[in-house]
Amino acid sequence: MMLDVQEATVRYGAITALHGISFQIAEGEIVTLLGANGAGKTTTLRMLSGLHAPSSGSIQFEGSEITQVKAHDFSAMGISHVPEGRRIFPQMTVEENLEMGAFKRNGGYHDDMGRMYETFPILKERRKQLGANLSGGEQQMLAIARALMAQPRLLLLDEPSMGLAPMIVDTIFRIIADIRKQGTTVFVVEQNAAQALRLADRGYVMENGRIVFGDTAQNLLHDERVRAVYLGESVEG
Amino acid sequence: MRAFFRNPFVRRFSLCFLVVELVALMTGPPGSTQAPTAGFRGSFFEASSFYGLFRTQRWVVFFALAIIMFLVWSGWLNKGASIRSTATKALAVPRAVTQRRPVRWSLIGVALIVALLLPRIVNDAFWHSAMTEQIGVFVLLATGLNVVVGFAGLLDLGYVAFYAIGAYTTAWMTGSLPTPAPFHGHFDPFVAIPVAIVIVMVAGILLGAPTLRLRGDYLAIVTLGFGEIVTIFANNLYGITGGSQGSGPIPHPVLHIGPLHYVWSLKPVPYYYLLLVFLVIFLVAFSLLEHSRIGRAWTAIREDEVAAESVGINPLKYKVMAFAIGASTAGFAGVVTASQSNNVFPSSFTLQSSINILVLVIFGGMGSIFGVVVGAIIIQVAYSYLLHTPPQGYQSADLYMYLGALLVVMMIFRPSGLIPSRRRKREIVLSEAGEGHMDEVLTGDTP
């Protein structure tokens, strides 16, 4: 297992956000985490990127314990986080944003920059523009490209489709599939269940801070409970 | 009647008239020395009392003023947009020119030569001491604070504490404090320079490490508290600092390298050159730092701390670094002030001075080294000029009224400072090309 989460509990003061969740991600997979608002999806990602340490339980990445690792050490370890709401550097150009992504690497990242421009041709066009002046979809692509500049083995995506037009969402999801083909494991948290399940190999469903069940994406797509709650279809129909 | 006041022209004119009347009330009757504007000599206020021309019909003047204000306002409404865009384009020309390498280097060279010859050009005892104590020292302090406020985006309201620590370290090292000097030696202030810089940087780390987890306003309050604590300690620890009596006499530095022997004295000009040498060193170091890895990390933290963390930047580490590096110039400035003025008093390190230094940084343009230097020179020259030839009725506290008004005007018309940093320049160029709205970029709004 690449990432192995066992019985992780996260508390915000007196409130328990995650009640001992367990799940695994194998190398080369795309795994998705589904759930309604407030189910604990973002908290799970914050925990996985060191922004909020679990109060109990363990997280193992490639066999080593990472529960107490600080957020800023994650990128050097091989886990990149694309935060919710994109969070690119607004006053830096696209190029500078990409350079920041390689902050922890020593020299020689210009090949990677070229590869990013191949994957995201629109970013090459906008190379000298400020992050603030990009459209939402371009910003999302920049955020993903910036995360990839750290050469992660595991990429964490928080709501990549948020606030984007359906056409752009298609593009983004196609790119995520490409990224996996190039050998990066992807963990994606999504509200757009139908699209996420079509992309992913496996999925987990969260409710009220617990993982209620997990299965292959195919099975989940045909699961009655998932269809009823997340795909907006009635059980009878 | 209502329709009459709804007329935009009538409404605009009545507003103008109201404003002018308010000013009239504020300025008081002709010849009044109580009014805050009484200091303006040769102004029409004085004329109106002196020549008696408008003594009885002051309202005539104000009516005329209201008309002028109305015309300016209407003109701005009609032509404002085009004036603004012409101005941005016109301002972009010198920018484009100075961005060229040879031009920039020769400008720097000319500035350096002028700075070197300045004591000969302005051969006046008052200005000699002003260019050392008021201008040189404050330019140094402003460049240091610029690292903290401009580069790393941390609002530090207690910067003067580092200045005080630098000055007191000098007094301590030279054996001028009630506490014995280290190793019972009486060191030369020159020896105090590296020691003061190191101690101040350690103080920066000690203050920064616990407090820099705070953000924005909270950090400002804590640093403000730190500034006050240092002053209060200096004031009350009689046995260590000499309390409000200040330190004993601090000797002047003596340079003694081989056959070279130079003794600084009470004269300010030699100190001016000492400041200049170190200012150049600090400026070169800071501009190299700005474009280094550390500088990029500061920019990232300033723009989005969470994103910075996600690309692997440790925010706390780089913020503490900014605090320590920014403090170093204050440490050096403290050494020079202490040895030049011969003594140290706690009363010279108040919250007021912290805010004054911050004003220099904001006026010049946060994050722009060149801007901050020019801004600090302009404000400090104006301040010294007002000390040198005060207008009639001018009191030193009036300066803050003018400074406040200046800042308000600045915030409206040039919110990023007199000479904005290169990042800002690019934004203006971008908005000219029609790619993005300037105001949106300047306020940093992100969609």
Q: Could you tell me the CATH number of the domain that includes residue B188?
A: 1.10.3470
Q: Which segment, B84-93, B360-369, B415-424, is predicted with the most confidence on average?
A: B360-369
Helices B315-341 and B160-173: angle between axes, nearest 10 degrees: 50
Least reliable range by pLDDT among A112-116, B38-42, B108-112: B38-42
Q: Is it the case that residue B66 has pLDDT exceeding 90?
A: no
The pLDDT value recorded for residue A141 is: 92
- Cβ–Cβ of A136/B293 closer than 8 Å? no
Neighbours of B61 (CB within 10 A): 17
The type of residue at A156 is L
Q: Please indicate, yes or no, whether residues B301 and B152 belong to a single structural domain of this protein.
A: yes
Residues B427, B440: Cα–Cα separation, whole Å = 10
B105 lies in some domain: no
Specify whether the CB–CB gap between B327 and B162 falls below 8 A: yes
Please state the rounded mean pLDDT for residues B302-323: 91
* DSSP sequence for B230-276: HHHHHHH-HHHH-GGG---PPPPPEEEETTEEEE--S-HHHHHHHHH
Task: Look at residue B33 and tell me if it is in a domain.
Answer: yes
**Edge-to-edge strands of the sheet including A15-25?**
A15-25, A3-12, A56-61, A64-65
* B313 and A CB contact within 8 Å: yes
Task: Tell me, yes or no, if A100 comes closer than 8 A to chain B by beta carbon.
Answer: yes
The pLDDT assigned to B446 comes to 36
| Binary contact (A150, B311; C-beta < 8 A) | yes
pLDDT at A195: 87
B441 and B328 part of one domain: no
Please state, rounded to an integer, the average pLDDT across all residues of chain B. 82
Closest CA to B40 of B54, B53, B26, B52: B26
Q: Do B323 and B445 share a domain, yes or no?
A: no
Q: Quote the domain boundaries for residue B217.
A: 115-405
Predicted confidence band at B78 (pLDDT cuts at 50, 70, 90)? confident
Is B290 within the bounds of a domain? yes
Residues of chain B with pLDDT > 90: what percent?
35
Number of structural domains, chain B? 3
Q: Please check whether residues B44 and B136 belong to one and the same domain.
A: no
**B33 pLDDT more than 90:** no
Residue of A106 and B323 predicted with greater confidence: B323
Domain ranges of chain A: 3-229
Chain B nearest-CA distance from A234, in A, is 36
Domain assignment present for residue B79? The answer is no
Domain A3-229 has CATH 3.50.50.60: no
> Domain for residue B420, yes or no?
yes
pLDDT on residue B247:
86
Instruction: Please check the confidence at residue B79 and state whether its pLDDT lies above 90.
Output: no
pLDDT reading at B52 higher than 50: no
Q: Chain B residues with CB inside 8 Å of A73's CB?
A: 312, 314
Do B152 and B43 sit in the same domain of this protein? no
pTM above 0.90, yes or no: no
Residue of B nearest to A135 (CA): B447
**Does pLDDT of B281 surpass 60?**
yes
Mean pLDDT, chain A, as a whole number? 88
> Beta-carbon neighbour count of residue A130 at 10 Å?
23
Q: Which of A91, A103, A133 to mutate to test the interface with B (most CBs of B within 10 A)?
A: A91
Above 70 in pLDDT, residue A237?
no
B128 and B46 co-located in one domain: no
Based on the domain organization, do B378 and B425 belong to the same domain? Answer: no
Q: Is the pLDDT of residue B55 over 50?
A: no
Query: B307 and B395: one domain?
Result: yes
| Spatial CB neighbours of B79, under 8 Å, sequence gap ≥ 6 | none
**Set of chain B residues whose Cβ sits within 8 Å of the Cβ of A152:** none
Contacts of B312 in chain A (CB under 8 A): 72-76, 103-104, 150
Residue B309 has pLDDT above 50, yes or no: yes
E strand spans, chain A: 3-12, 15-25, 30-35, 56-61, 64-65, 79-82, 154-158, 185-190, 202-207, 210-216
pLDDT in tens, B147-160: 999 999 899 999 99
CA distance B419 to chain A (A): 17
Residues 126-165 of A with CB under 8 A from B: 129-133, 136, 139, 146-147, 150
Chain A residues in contact with B435 (beta carbon < 8 A): 129, 133
Decide if pLDDT at B440 tops 50: no
- pLDDT category, B53, cuts 50, 70, 90? very low
**B110 within some domain:** no
**In which band, very low, low, confident or very high, does the pLDDT at A232 lie, cut at 50, 70 and 90?**
low
| Chain A residues within 8 A of B444 when measuring between CB atoms | 90-91, 132
How many Å apart are CA B62 and CA B24, to the nearest integer? 7
Nearest CA in chain A to B435: A133
Instruction: For residues B288 and B437, state if they share a domain.
Output: no
Please check whether residues B221 and B282 belong to one and the same domain.
yes
Average pLDDT over residues B160-189: 87
Q: Is residue B147 part of a domain?
A: yes
Amino acid B51: pLDDT = 40
- Nearest Cα of chain A lies from the Cα of B309 at a distance, in angstroms, of 5
Q: Which residues contact B3 (CB under 8 A, 6 or more apart)?
A: none
Q: Is the pLDDT reported for residue B136 higher than 90?
A: yes
The answer to whether residues B428 and B322 belong to one domain is: no
Same structural domain, B67 and B129 = no
